Amino acid sequence: MHDEEFRSRGVTRRTILAGLSATAALSLVPRGAAAAEGKEAPQLAAMVKDGKLPPLAERLPPKPMVVTPLEKVGTYGGSLRRGLRGSSDHNGILRMVGNQSLVRWNMEFTEVLPNLAERWEVSADATIFTFHLIPGVKWSDGHPFTADDVVFAIEDCVKNTELYSSTPAQLAVAGKPVLVEKIDDQTVKFTFAAPNALYLENLATPLGQHPTLFAKHYCSKFLPKYNSNLDADVKAAGVSSWTELFRAKCGDIEIPSRWSNPEKPVLDPWVVKEPYSGGATRVVMERNPYFWQVDTEGNQLPYIDELNFGISQDVESLMLNVISGKIDIQERHISVLANKPTLSQNMQKGDYRLLSLVPSAAQQCQIYLNMTHKDPAMRKMFADKSFRQALSLGVNRQEIIDIVYFGQSEPYQTGPRPGHPWYHEKLARQFTEFDPDQANALLDKAGFDKKGQNGMRLRPDGQPVFFAIDVIPTLYPDLVDTLELVKSHWAEIGIDMKVNTIERALYYTRGDDNAHDAAVWPGPGGLDPMLDPRDYFAFHPQGSRYAIPWTLWYTSNGAKGEEPPESQKKRFKLFDEARSTADIDKRGAIMKQLFDLAADEFETVGICLAVGGFGIIRNNLRNVPEKEPDSWSWPNPGPALPQQFTFTS
């Protein structure tokens, strides 16, 4: 298990996940190595010769960003095949291509590195961020990328209330949107209304791509401010409003139409050739001739000519493509543990090797008992800490791990993963032992000592102790198996539970309406405790399912929802404090206090540490890390820089 590796190492923030980069980590050497001698792909060279494209030196920045290939300097050519699902799978493209933000994550998911911004300064109170862009970078149509584009993207697009009725959360602090100003062509200043120490980390996640998403010279054509003739264009395009036209042409971070307009200038290594649209059976992207990164020998990236995303309606047919060797790299959709035997058996036939994913999640199966239940008696029962303790002690975790997870996990509550510098022993391990006797004793003491005719316990008001746990079988079949085992364990201590398998939209609606007794979900926050702390306090209006009304109170500054208990309020304060603390050690100390409080309250019941997934890499595809974090915030495989992936044959 990878976590063994984590534990054997030191616990500084820099070395968590050191196990990930078995070979050397990707790093950036000082710019300007041998850029002037740069080489380019043969197709591009031919186009230059025919006069269809300016020479390489005019397309690259004077000092392009240099990427050190993971294993070796690659060779140009090849078409990389990967699979998408029929619908709403646009993020499958984003993860591979669209990670060209101002900054990016390092391979270990621990540090933010320069990307389109070559350096930056942060004011001491973390309110002002000044970014210096790499001079001479060009959009995929050859137009220069400058500070004007960044200012345009935020001030004219994202802050346009007709386009975005509310500013994306990342760009608004204390209820006020950020102010972006141009200092000179290469310098932009972001000013927040309050400290926002996590901004760089947020900027490295996919939701941080807004500043580099919209090219001013192109997208301004679809804004009323810049185009007086827009009404006519809207009519001609056959859409009903200019905002629709803007989205169809320029897209947004997370909508399919981001990948449906081949004309849209981008800063990505590949540009759309055959778009992702409703009727598409595949998406093809070709190299961006103006891509602004080179390898250590000055060769322009990317190495691979073309990306070919086949669209499968059905995951089984995707699996067939994988085992018959028709996919070059894939972990999306096929990464569940149940597929591992099939994938391992066919390694020779499909000529691939396995890629292992380190989950960023903490918990495989987090049980959220609704402590703000609408029924006062249920609320009282779930809010009773000894009731929750008894339930936790009544679960035979080892049995679940052996049967459902093939022994690949360990009993766990929640908290940063073992080996993480913020690992919290009590939060992670309390009440994980299997002790039915103590569970029974706790339940008797808490007033659930009478039993009904069926041998199940009764509440003090005489009603049977019974509740349903919502789970989505199509999404997480393993959680259904886990819950069935939990149900049998709890029956032994006289607790009657129903595994409530429901459709996923209903699951969400029940949560939004606070109509659920309890629900399960994989608990995040293992490697990204600051980005998604939903299990440490009522943080996420859809995810913190043990107390959604409390989260509403928090996110609306007390205007909506329900006032939470003191311990939660203290944690809100601590988190806000951590969020505005730039110093990472001080931030860790604050988070430790928060974890102490969370451990004392014991709000969620966890089963076991989140289990890692799998993927495949074809044997002739090199420069790919064989182990990488699996996270939305670290949108694998993007931060491993697919532009330096290369084929050996």
Partner 1 sequence: MLKFIVKRLLWMIPSLFAVSFLAFVLIQLPPGDYVTTYIATLAASNEIIDQNTAASLRERFGLGDPLLIQYFKWIWGIITEGDFGISFEWQQPVSGLIWERMALTLILAVASLLATWAIALPIGVYSAVRKYSIGDYMFTAFSFLGLSIPSFLLALVLMYIAAVEFGQDVGGLFSPQYETAPWSLAKMADLLAHLWLPVIILAVSSTASLIRVMRANMLDELPKPYVTTARAKGLSEFRLLTKYPMRIALNPFISTIAWLLPNLISGSVVVAIVLNLPTAAPLLLQALMAQDMYLAGAFVLLICALTLIGSLISDILLALVDPRIRLE
- For CA atoms 302, 304, 306, 311, give the dihedral sign: negative
Which amino acid makes up residue 21? S
Nearest 5 degrees, angle CA 53-CA 59-CA 62? Answer: 155
Using CB under 8 A as the binding rule, whether residue 209 contacts partner 1 is answered as no
Measured from the CB atom, is 248 or 446 closer to partner 1? 248
Q: Which of 21, 187, 293, 321 binds partner 1 (CB under 8 A)?
A: 321
According to CB under 8 A, which residues from 44 to 103 bind partner 1?
86-88, 91
Residue among 191, 239, 245, 189 at smallest CA distance from 222: 245
Using CB under 8 A as the binding rule, whether residue 257 contacts partner 1 is answered as yes
Using CB under 8 A as the binding rule, whether residue 168 contacts partner 1 is answered as yes
Could you tell me what percentage of the chain is helix, strand and coil, using 3-state DSSP and rounding each to the nearest 5? 35, 20, 45
Q: Which of 289, 533, 541, 637 binds partner 1 (CB under 8 A)?
A: 541
Structure tokens at 436: 């039915």
Q: Which of 23, 27, 281, 463 binds partner 1 (CB under 8 A)?
A: 281
Query: Residue 47 and residue 377: Cα distance in Å, rounded?
Result: 74
Stretch that binds partner 1, among 42-50, 188-196, 224-232, 314-322 (CB under 8 A): 314-322
Query: Residue 478 and residue 499: Cα distance in Å, rounded?
Result: 13
Structure tokens at 337: 């543990």
Query: Residue 562 and residue 257: Cα distance in Å, rounded?
Result: 38
Using CB under 8 A as the binding rule, whether residue 514 contacts partner 1 is answered as no
According to CB under 8 A, which residues from 468 to 497 bind partner 1?
475
Do the bridges between strand 293-295 and strand 65-67 make them parallel or antiparallel, or are there none, so unpaired?
A: parallel
Using CB under 8 A as the binding rule, whether residue 622 contacts partner 1 is answered as no
Residue among 426, 93, 142, 463 at smallest CA distance from 254: 93
CB of 523 to partner 1, least distance (A): 11
In degrees and rounded to multiples of 5, residue 554 shows phi and psi of -70, -50
Measured from the CB atom, is 474 or 488 closer to partner 1? 474
Using CB under 8 A as the binding rule, whether residue 233 contacts partner 1 is answered as no
Measured from the CB atom, is 161 or 228 closer to partner 1? 161
Edge-first strand order for the sheet with 282-287 is: 79-85, 306-312, 282-287, 270-274
Residue among 638, 631, 623 at smallest CA distance from 23: 623
Residue that has been written with the tokens 């449906």 in this structure: 260
Using CB under 8 A as the binding rule, whether residue 166 contacts partner 1 is answered as yes
CB of 316 to partner 1, least distance (A): 6
Nearest 5 degrees, angle CA 123-CA 128-CA 129? Answer: 90
Using CB under 8 A as the binding rule, whether residue 165 contacts partner 1 is answered as yes
Using CB under 8 A as the binding rule, whether residue 323 contacts partner 1 is answered as yes
How many residues bind to partner 1 according to rule CB under 8 A?
67
Query: Residue 615 and residue 629: Cα distance in Å, rounded?
Result: 12
Q: Which of 509, 556, 557, 567 binds partner 1 (CB under 8 A)?
A: 509
CB of 460 to partner 1, least distance (A): 33
Measured from the CB atom, is 277 or 557 closer to partner 1? 277
**Interacting residue ranges for partner 1, rule: CB under 8 A:** 86-88, 91, 164-170, 172, 206-207, 238-240, 243-244, 247-248, 252, 254-257, 260, 274, 277-279, 281-282, 308, 311-314, 316-317, 320-321, 323-324, 326, 332, 346, 349, 361, 475, 503-510, 512, 522, 524, 532, 541-542, 555, 631-632
